[in-house]
Amino acid sequence: MGEPANFEGLLHEALSPIEPPEDLGRRLESAFASLAESAVEELEAWELSAMRDPRNWARPAAAVLVGGTAGAALVLLRARHRPAPRVGALRGAQRAAERAVGDIGEQTRRLLGDR
């Protein structure tokens, strides 16, 4: 019989993190932008008169799905690259949101109170 396998060492080696390439974010952003542009071009090429036949709905539906997914991925990628907001800016945004909610409540009470 041979030596017992070092399972902990094997697991550590198999599950060790790897660093992604430095230009991965740029490449992903470029790919998602290209997909979104292609989807927009596909949708622009379709005529509304062709949409009467349900057999023609597959390509525009796929274009909407791909374009929406690529657009959402672009938003997420670009949001990760922004610097984190300062604590003071967050407090100001919270106060502004609280004022807006209060104003909406006040306007609602005025409108519904007269009825």
Average pLDDT, the chain: 80
For every residue of 62-97, DSSP letters joined together read HHHHHHHHHHHHHHHHHHHHSPPPPHHHHHHHHHHH
Q: Record the pTM.
A: 0.53
Long-range CB contact pairs, 102-106, < 8 A, 24+: none
Measured from the Cβ of residue 36, the count of other Cβ atoms closer than 10 Å reads 19
pLDDT in tens, 67-86: 889 988 888 888 777 666 66
Percent of the chain with pLDDT over 70: 85
Top-ranked range on mean pLDDT: pick from 32-41, 50-59, 92-101, 105-114: 32-41
Question: Residue 7 pLDDT more than 70?
Answer: yes
The token duo for 60 is 């525009």
pLDDT at 1: 46
Question: Residue 49 pLDDT more than 80?
Answer: no
CB 63 within 8 A of CB 42: yes
CB 107 within 8 A of CB 62: no
